Amino acid sequence: MNCREVFETGLLYHHYANTAYPLTPHSFMQYRLNNRDEIYDFVVSEWQKTDALSLYIHVPFCKQRCKFCEYVVLEHTDDNIEDEYVDLLLKEMQMYAEILKGKRIVGYDLGGGTPVKLSVRNLKRITDAVNTLFNIEPDTVFSVETTPVIAANEPEKIQALYDLGYRRISMGVQTVSEKLLSALGREGSASVYEKAVANIRKAGFQSFNIDLMYGFLYQTDADFGNTLRYAVGLAPEHITLYRNRYKGTKIESEAGGVSIYKAVYQYRLAYSILTDHGYIANVGKNTFSRVPDDYGTSDYLTKRVIYGTPYVGMGLGAQSFGMDYLAYNLGAAEKRMERYRTAIREGRLPIQDIYRLPKEESIAKMVSVAFYFAFVDLAAFKARFGLDFCEYFRDEVDFVLQNKLMELKDGRLYLTPRGADNINGVIPLFYSPRSKEELKTAFAAKSLGEENDERLFLDAYNIDNYFRPSLAVDIAVFAQQPDAKQILLIRRGDHPYMNHWALPGGFLRSDETLEQAAARELREETGVQNVRLLPVGNYSDVARDPRGRIISAAYTATVDPAEVHVLSGDDAIDAKWFALEVTQDGGIYMLTLRNDAKTLTATLQITPEGTEILANDGLAFDHAKIILDAYRQSAV
């Protein structure tokens, strides 16, 4: 696929084209080591390739599995199971201590699951083993995760973690909407959050992060805005945003109802609120920090994201990424402990799948993760792979620069605001050729169809949440050419009619006129501005918009295409000129709109009662009517 095709495919499957790589559990099967007897020697040889790495220790226990969780989690466990798990984990750590003898450990995370579900005794056993078995660099900051409920109700654990040497703590708030929390199977309340923060501060933590999530089907923008402002009020040093990824979760079936525009808008909302309150991040980055020169993430994650630093994951289902291999521990597939237990007792590394990666796959994994920070460090890439990034990805870099998706600055390739909006199309550009082809086919079966996706969206849509009356504007922009007629269309990034072609347009805001709204929407969605807009008419069919009663005022303009630079934006994921042909047979009109990649058609009838659409292939809403009326007006 060429760059444009990859970019558009990523936007189409935006729930799956993200920083997680590979795309599916089966993506790397051709690289899998299938002889169990080879695995230990292979791992030993791989870790001879580097002298520095990070550790990730996975604790898979939670009171209950949240519906948005994609990780390896065990529910409803007791002290005996947790004690046994730590016994097994320590044996795995001893195995790796032999392999990694003398290697420098530059990052360490204790994650989950819920690490603090363990007893203080078990937390101490794990931490003591980390310090005893591995060569921890003196300036490495130990990082750990907690839930609000445990931090609020078991302060002795939070104090114990600080006393054990952990200096960064992350707490998953996710949302303060109690309705949404209940729907997601998660506990939380204002009193719990505030008590949790008090205990974290009392323990001595000065590097405190709060995790928030967005992009849920039933999460309104107002809910998310309230969550952001509440989190700011808790005064953590860092706030991290996680867009719900759906893949492998209990609510994966809801993914189709969430448009790319909803996720984009909620990230923009977060960026505005957080930066207004002193939390800094380059646009597109997930973690915001109010500490100068601090990325806000753990050493483990920071080094992984920027430098591609390899890491060993230990524990049930944990992932490891070496210089040229990727592995998942037993339990990653079935989310059970039996096979992990058996392997440890037999003295084997508890590896479920291990892959000998070709260089292009190691590169794709590093670069995909780099977008967590929304930039690629060119020197770090060269140090990791011995390659010039801009040369290796010459076509892709040209594409993102020419389309203003990324910019080169201070030795890094950064997302622009436009690139941040379209991040799910940008990331796949740097996949391996194999994964680019896989993206095109792997997720088609996941979709339950356009009608189902729109039904999900409409089930969650409440028109009462929006400014009333609902007035919209649509703009028919024609190219000023003597021998042909062209019209400017955008491809919608939001439901309804997501991925369909439409006229530029959108809703009237409470503080603007219709003309101002038309000018703004045209500028935001296409980049076209400073043009004379003429009224076409009003469109008020009761069922013209499936969201509810929405009336549109239509405008038209004629421009010189040589003097405008068309660039999609806002909830438009593409903007293109289409050649327009109109034929007439009595009162019947046929519209044909073409460009190099797409042909759209519509058949309409004009009667004394008005214009009726008889057939429509590819145009959203009643825009065929507006196009015909604007065309006839321009021909007068």
Mean pLDDT of all residues in the chain? 93
| pLDDT one-digit tens code per residue, 416-439 | 999 999 999 999 999 999 999 999
Under a CB-based contact definition with an 8 Å cutoff, are residues 51 and 135 in contact?
A: no
Angle at 118 between CA 113 and CA 124, to 5 degrees: 120
Query: Would you state the structure tokens that stand for residue 627, as one six-digit string?
Result: 């196009």
Q: What is the pLDDT of residue 447?
A: 62
- The contacts of residue 86 (CB under 8 Å, 6+ apart) are 118, 122, 125, 126
**CATH entry, 142-286, from 3.30.750.24, 3.80.30.20, 3.90.1180.10, 3.30.2000.10:** 3.80.30.20
Measured distance CA(558)–CA(487) in Å, rounded:
9
Here the contacts of 413-418 (C-beta below 8 Å, separation 24 or greater) are 413/375, 413/376, 413/378, 413/389, 414/282, 414/284, 414/374, 414/375, 415/282, 415/283, 415/284, 415/371, 415/374, 415/375, 416/283, 417/283, 418/567, 418/569
For the beta carbon of residue 177, count every other beta carbon within 10 angstroms: 20
Measured distance CA(506)–CA(382) in Å, rounded:
45
Task: Provide the β-strand partners of residue 617.
Answer: 601
| pLDDT one-digit tens code per residue, 65-91 | 777 777 788 888 889 999 999 999 999
Measured distance CA(558)–CA(467) in Å, rounded:
31
| pLDDT one-digit tens code per residue, 245-298 | 777 778 778 878 888 999 999 999 999 999 999 999 999 999 999 999 999 999
Q: Say how many CA atoms lie within 13 Å of 636 toward its Cβ.
A: 6
From 457, 477, 447, select the one nearest 564 (Cα to Cα): 477
What phi and psi, each to the nearest 5 degrees, are found at residue 180?
-70, -40
Measured distance CA(534)–CA(564) in Å, rounded:
18
Under a CB-based contact definition with an 8 Å cutoff, are residues 246 and 252 in contact?
A: yes
**What CATH architecture does domain 1-19+371-450 belong to?**
Orthogonal Bundle (1.10)
**461-635: which CATH topology?**
Nucleoside Triphosphate Pyrophosphohydrolase (3.90.79)
Angle at 471 between CA 467 and CA 474, to 5 degrees: 135
Q: What is the pLDDT of residue 636?
A: 58
Here the contacts of 443-446 (C-beta below 8 Å, separation 24 or greater) are 443/13, 443/16, 443/23, 446/16, 446/252, 446/255
CA 216, 222, 227, 229 dihedral sign is positive
Kindly report the pTM of this predicted structure. Answer: 0.85
Q: What is the pLDDT of residue 448?
A: 63
Question: Which residues of the chain are under the pLDDT cut of 70?
Answer: 185-186, 445-448, 482-483, 636
- The contacts of residue 298 (CB under 8 Å, 6+ apart) are 107, 109, 141, 143, 168, 170
Q: Taking the domains of the chain in order of start, what are their residue ranges?
A: 1-19+371-450, 29-135+298-356, 142-286, 461-635
